[in-house]
Structure 1
């Protein structure tokens, strides 16, 4: 399984990446909405997002709406490509198992 990206391969990061990949390129999702979709705690989601951000796979934009802080998330071009590569490698791996 060396060909599977270890950054994406962790179950939580795979869920995050797969969810973000469903969002059109150029669009983004708020942190609370992603947290709700994935049913993850804020701390757990933050930890995994940090790893994805450090790898250059996720763009984290912190801004304000009025006085309220808001965090928006999106896959970067690199992240989208890494997810595509990951799914191709997984399909190939599963194909050899049958």
Structure 2
């Protein structure tokens, strides 16, 4: 499911902060559906469940989730396919959220 732009068209890239947040949240949901991947996310980012829950609206936390995916291309591609976007859009969202 692609984020919808204000003009009603599918947004193919995270041109806005809202689109970047939407992609990051979708990616986080995808990541957490697999227990092993979720454990790896927590281990590699240094986050714990409480920090992740408390930081869900924090752009730095969301950027860290996308960086986690970007660091393992198979997961990046699988996530992009699962949420109907492109790997490039996920990377662009990470860059947007890292600003």
TM-score by length of 2: 0.29
Decide which structure has greater strand share. Answer: 1
Using the size of structure 1 for normalisation, the TM-score is: 0.30
Write 1 or 2 for the structure with the bigger share of helix: 2
Greater relative contact order: 1 or 2 (C-alpha under 8 angstroms, separation 6 or more)? 2
